[in-house]
Structure 1
């Protein structure tokens, strides 16, 4: 999330030094050493790392000189905003460029396209050859999010799950318990909805494409999915119930302009005290707590995603991963960097800076939760090993697939008639996407 702010650079330096000492940091072995290959070291090699604009990058960049000192590998870092990153990578990979060697990517947005285009080096063999790396330490959901056609296409570095944010003071005043089910969420939103006072019962993403990730948890918790057994399934009874619930929450208890809101607008609206309930990714908590317009930050609470008829099944995904360019001339050096950056020690440091990581051992370490509010850390630990490993249709053309889902939900938000007919048409369009990709 490129608009979030991290700790000042000076404080980051102190954190790095203290944490390196506290977690027993030891230099990562070079791949040649880990595999018994003594034919030559990697000293003097130079790799290019292309990153998105993300707090994880802000946390890892001050540590890279340590990696360079210990391995002798030079790292050139190039950073881009999220949309620019995808465009940059696509242009270079299409041109068969050897650069970048290592890059950040979004597994669920670009993973299938990049892998099937031959732009992601399978990392299974790299990840399992060194037992000290401990691939089994990664949560199963994070690994599945990063797997395409049975191959590990990237290494998870940042994870996220959907949770419920709520105003403690408003719930207490109304005598309402924190919603534990979706039905309770709807009832609470209705009771807490007071537009005449400038406070709405519920807010979440209403923009067509962005809302798809957040409605996914409603869908899974009702027993549905976007695609079932290889077939489009966005017009099933479970799907329609989930879409109707999400859409009607925003229509009946959300702000008038909610259809134009993505996460920055929705989180800002909630942080300013204008909504009682808000569901979104736990990774954006800084945006919720960082508002200078709302002084009651202590009144913001965190809770697991409410349960539907099939239980609480929020998405639990790898939002960002690291990958290797198959055309790289220095794959061993590239892997050495990924291995270091995603190690237990570095995951601890980046997580202490507020970036939810994929390693179970770090979540079980008391030091691994110090970067989060205590209540939020507790929710993190409850959700890290549960939920569903995707938050959007798993297709090559993710944008087109999301368009079809978002279209249905936006019609519900707008109160349009003939939703079933429109859902059938959208489902047929999604199936057409799947059929074309299968050719």
Structure 2
């Protein structure tokens, strides 16, 4: 195997640590026509490990707000631009539209972490601080856990499951069960395709509402291409990646509905011609403000997600999110220390 397709934020650290990925730092900077500088900052950060470029992003995603235009219009509400406005609108719609939740999102301990991350950043927090220490019990993190869980507990679907990933949450939204839904932009066709969605013609999109620290959704590469460190054909492997990730190929893929990492393609009207205009606008905003990770940047990502996701479930179920965050802080720091051994 010469070229591999991998998930930078799920396996990237582990692959780099184990020597699976070749160093592409010189390759990406050697061809000005191919133009590494054209790549968005968040995805570049996610495919760079210990200062070395080990992958080229091919598919990106950001968290955006999905909403029901008809419900907002009926309630006389504007599209929320802040977290406070989102909560107020969710409360108003749930009160005025029996049987319709004000808000829905992922709820699973592990699966919700990526979507919760944007709330965490927008409240001014992160999973780790600049020194690599756990930071899930800061005031900002505790407020983010309380807010996210509170939205679902107070304004979400009745008897909501605490094990929902995107298919379950998306189904509630597309079957008309909720007014607001925060999710990856890459999944938008599930909401706008009449064959999949009962509300296809009623869906709007907006940038993630701003928290105390602003609107800071994740902007990440869900997939990237890398060269096998043990390949005897690395030169041709890189030539293939250059071809597959060129501006022309990226534009073709994006027109087919695959969101890419190149700034020039998003700036090209052809690059957004197949996207709803409000979604394209939300993506443009999110790419500028976005954070380059949507989960803890560690080697054993699955275990880390279980730890930092526990306060999400605690908050949804009405337990004390601050106490859960303190417990998660202790467990997460122990986990981080163990990874260094």
Gaps of 5+ in 1: 1-99
CA–CA distance in structure 2, aligned partners of residues 362 and 273 of structure 1 = 33
CA–CA distance in structure 1, aligned partners of residues 328 and 199 of structure 2 = 42
Please list, as runs of the form range in 1=range in 2, the aligned pairs for 1:17-28 lying within 5 A after superposition.
none
- TM-aligned CA deviation for residue 269 of structure 1: 1.2
Residue 73 of structure 2 is matched in structure 1 by 172
Q: Which structure's relative contact order is higher, taking Cα pairs within 8 Å and 6+ residues apart?
A: 2
Alpha-carbon deviations, 1:285-339, whole Å to 9, x = none?
Answer: 0112225364432210000000001111111111110011101121111111111
8 A contact 1:264–1:287 mirrored in 2? no
CA–CA distance in structure 1, aligned partners of residues 77 and 160 of structure 2 = 27
Identify if the C-alpha distance between structure 1 residues 126 and 299 changes in structure 2 by more than 3 Å, giving closer, same or farther: same
2:167 aligned residue (264, 282, 304): 264
Please list, as runs of the form range in 1=range in 2, the aligned pairs for 1:132-281 lying within 5 A after superposition.
132-193=33-94, 197-228=98-129, 229-255=131-157, 256-281=159-184
Larger Cα Rg: Structure 1 or Structure 2? 1
- TM-aligned CA deviation for residue 196 of structure 1: 7.5
8 A contact 1:205–1:258 mirrored in 2? no
372-381 or 242-251: which moved more?
372-381
Aligned: 1:431 with 2:320? no
Residue 415 of structure 1 is matched in structure 2 by 318
Residue 313 of structure 1 is matched in structure 2 by 216
TM-score by length of 2: 0.96
8 A contact 1:250–1:258 mirrored in 2? no
- TM-aligned CA deviation for residue 194 of structure 1: 5.1
Please list, as runs of the form range in 1=range in 2, the aligned pairs for 1:22-421 lying within 5 A after superposition.
100-193=1-94, 197-228=98-129, 229-255=131-157, 256-290=159-193, 292=195, 294-417=197-320, 419-421=321-323
CA–CA distance in structure 1, aligned partners of residues 154 and 299 of structure 2 = 34
8 A contact 2:216–2:289 mirrored in 1? yes
CA–CA distance in structure 1, aligned partners of residues 96 and 25 of structure 2 = 53
8 A contact 1:141–1:385 mirrored in 2? no
- Counting matched residue pairs gives 339
CA–CA distance in structure 2, aligned partners of residues 397 and 225 of structure 1 = 18
Residue 93 of structure 1 is matched in structure 2 by none
8 A contact 1:120–1:324 mirrored in 2? yes
CA–CA distance in structure 2, aligned partners of residues 286 and 258 of structure 1 = 24
- TM-aligned CA deviation for residue 195 of structure 1: 9.6
TM-score by length of 1: 0.75
CA–CA distance in structure 2, aligned partners of residues 412 and 244 of structure 1 = 6
CA–CA distance in structure 1, aligned partners of residues 324 and 319 of structure 2 = 10
SS of the equivalent of 1:309 reads coil
8 A contact 1:137–1:360 mirrored in 2? yes
